[in-house]
Every structure is written in structure tokens, then in C-alpha cells.
Amino acid sequence: IVSLPEAMELLVDYYRSIRGEHPDWDDYRAAMEREQRCLVRIEIERAVRT
């Protein structure tokens, strides 16, 4: 789990990958702070076929 403030640029990158550019990045960042958002990072180490 990545918490703010470390998560902020990761949240921006995540938003961009899904929705593209936000019309107001300052507003987006303020909302992330206000809502105390975090990011859960999952790293896949191995995948197998069954």
C-alpha cells in the first residue's frame, strides 16, 4: 500500500492510463488529498499455465 504523499504521482499516472488527461490536475490532486486516497501496488512475480 502506497499512501500519500508518495502515492500522488502514481495516482496521476493511474488516472492518465485509464482516462487520459484530467481537465484540472490541481483539483484532482486536492480531491485525492481530501479523500485520503492510497494506491495498492501488486507485483506479479510468476504466472503459470494450468
What local confidence, expressed as pLDDT, does residue 1 receive?
A: 96
Q: How far is CA 16 from CA 10, 13, 38, 45, in A?
A: 10, 5, 16, 25
CA 11 centroid distance within chain: 2
Span 35-40, mean pLDDT? 98
Kindly tell me if the per-residue pLDDT of 30 is higher than 90: yes
Span 14-28, mean pLDDT? 98
Kindly tell me if the per-residue pLDDT of 39 is higher than 90: yes
- pTM for the structure as a whole: 0.82
Span 11-20, mean pLDDT? 97
Q: Average pLDDT of the chain?
A: 97
